[in-house]
Amino acid sequence: MSDINDAAVGPVLDPFEQWLSERHKWLQTAAAKLIQTRAFPDADAIRELADLCVIEASKQGADKFETVAPGTLVQAQGQSPIRLRRISDVTGVNAIRSGASIDFGTSSISLVYGSNGSGKSGFARLIKQICGSRAKEDLLGNVFSKEQPEPSARIFLSVGEKEKEGVWTLPGGAVPQLRHLHVFDSTVATLYFGQKNEATYEPSRMRFEIG
């Protein structure tokens, strides 16, 4: 079993991502933040990008820049089948007990159900953060616990015939390989039925370019 960050079995750059990787570092950072937040930068964010532009010109602050992870904008149908197989060792997520796990098996669709207070909402929030869902919500700790550990979990996924695993943490953001995975719950439903949003398909690269 390989690590989820193992480039040898991970996605590779397609022509569009290759082109983006050759742009100025401040522009790559802007692209990475746009993908992470799925929102246009506000005035403060634009000022930060302007500062990064100056920093890059002075050839300083290399650690301040971000890049778009390989596979983030690649079409899902152009990749090997990717499945989230299991989540375990959950820590710091709502009232989910520490060390809890959930299995999804090998099918292409999974339904999570249970009684009130069983942890459905907590797992839904966690999965949406892991996959970078547009409807992701803040992960909250257990209000009845004195300790508030950083949200984390161990994730297991398959890429084609290869099994991969790794530790996910909230500051690390979404797992690039899982950005094409769709999570549907009541919060996602309101995006289509409670707000003026079109339920249409757009290629990820086109959606990135036109916002």
> What pLDDT sits at residue 192?
63
Judgement on whether residues 115 and 182 belong to the same structural domain of the protein: yes
> Which of 64, 88, 109 is the last residue in one of the domains?
64
Is the residue at 189 inside a domain?
A: yes
Judgement on whether residues 138 and 184 belong to the same structural domain of the protein: yes
Report the mean per-residue pLDDT for the chain: 80
Q: Is pLDDT above 50 for 8? A: no
d(CA 67, CA 186): 32
> What pLDDT sits at residue 59?
86
Q: Dihedral sign, CA of 119, 185, 155, 208?
A: negative
Judgement on whether residues 92 and 151 belong to the same structural domain of the protein: yes
> pLDDT for 50-83, tens place per residue?
999 999 999 887 788 998 877 777 654 456 788 8
Structure tokens at 192: 């289509």
Tell me whether strands 152-159 and 162-169 are parallel, antiparallel or unpaired: antiparallel
- 């990717």: which residue's tokens? 82
Judgement on whether residues 54 and 93 belong to the same structural domain of the protein: no
d(CA 197, CA 181): 19
Judgement on whether residues 55 and 89 belong to the same structural domain of the protein: no
Is the residue at 92 inside a domain?
A: yes
Provide the percentage of residues in the chain whose pLDDT is more than 70: 81
Give the global pTM.
Answer: 0.60
Judgement on whether residues 99 and 134 belong to the same structural domain of the protein: yes
Q: How many domains is the chain partitioned into structurally?
A: 2
Q: Is pLDDT above 80 for 152? A: yes
Count of H-run helices and E-run strands, the chain = 6, 5
Judgement on whether residues 53 and 92 belong to the same structural domain of the protein: no
Mean pLDDT of all residues in 41-46? 90
> What pLDDT sits at residue 184?
81
Is the residue at 207 inside a domain?
A: no
Confidence of residue 103 (pLDDT cuts 50, 70, 90): very high
Judgement on whether residues 14 and 80 belong to the same structural domain of the protein: no
Q: Is pLDDT above 90 for 19? A: no
Q: What is the 3-state secondary structure (H, E, C) of 73-133?
A: CCCHHHCCCEEEEEEEEEECCCCCCCCEEEECCCCCCCCCCCCCCCCHHHHHHHHHHHHCC
Is the residue at 158 inside a domain?
A: yes
Is the residue at 60 inside a domain?
A: yes
Confidence of residue 49 (pLDDT cuts 50, 70, 90): very high
Q: Whole domain around residue 80: which residue ranges?
A: 76-193
Answer with the residue of higher pLDDT: 117 or 196.
117
> Which of 20, 36, 64 is the last residue in one of the domains?
64
Mean pLDDT of all residues in 109-136? 85
Q: Is pLDDT above 90 for 194? A: no
d(CA 63, CA 99): 33
Judgement on whether residues 53 and 147 belong to the same structural domain of the protein: no
Is the residue at 138 inside a domain?
A: yes
Judgement on whether residues 56 and 107 belong to the same structural domain of the protein: no
Confidence of residue 7 (pLDDT cuts 50, 70, 90): very low
Judgement on whether residues 137 and 33 belong to the same structural domain of the protein: no
Judgement on whether residues 85 and 183 belong to the same structural domain of the protein: yes
